[in-house]
Amino acid sequence: MFGDLLSRLLAPAPETLPDEDARRALSALMVRLARADGHYDADERARIARILSERYALDATGAEVLRGDAEALEAEAPDTVRFTRAIKDAVPYEARAEIIEALWQVALADGAREAHEDSLIRLVTSLLGLTDQDSARARQRVMRG
């Protein structure tokens, strides 16, 4: 379904993605984070849809469609390292910082920090060319609301 997008992402010299494709790729990382513990339930799906709605000013239907696309893309995407590096090459630096903020929104939505989520966010932060300090600032912004 997303073969063309993945081909563009994984090309040797990817071009900047159009907004719609960038949203799908970034949303797929949120899904990957939520699925990291092997448990992806209705509450997590609703949380991601709510974050997408707020982040991209989507109505409920639009957010659900984007979340569904993200789930399908995440399932087709290569391992986290290759997928994240591909996103780094195709997404401007400013947008990469927003990715980490969105991941923290997913991770902290239940009010608890879990080691597997922290570990995945740390890996993605590094692969996106951001620092632990960038991630800490993103986490603090999310915690402030």
Residue 126 inside a domain? The answer is: yes
pTM of structure: 0.81
pLDDT digits (tens, 9 = 90+) for 64-75: 999 999 999 999
pLDDT of residue 64: 96
pLDDT digits (tens, 9 = 90+) for 1-23: 677 777 776 666 666 777 788 78
Residue 11 inside a domain? The answer is: no
Render the burial of 51-68: b for 16+ CB within 10 Å, e for the rest. Answer: bbbebeebeeeebbebbe
Mean pLDDT of the chain: 87
Mean pLDDT is lowest, of 27-31, 61-65, 78-82, for 78-82
User: Nearest 5 degrees, angle CA 13-CA 75-CA 31?
Assistant: 95
Residue 30 inside a domain? The answer is: yes
Residue 85 inside a domain? The answer is: yes
Residue 3 inside a domain? The answer is: no
Q: Which domain holds residue 50?
A: 17-144
Q: How many separate domains does the chain show?
A: 1
Q: Which of 141, 109, 104 is nearest to 125 (CA)?
A: 104
Residue 21 structure tokens: 């494709």
Look up the CATH number of the domain holding residue 137.
1.10.3680.10
Residue 8 inside a domain? The answer is: no
Cα 132 to the chain's mean position, in Å?
17
Residue 120 inside a domain? The answer is: yes
Residue 80 inside a domain? The answer is: yes
pLDDT of residue 13: 66
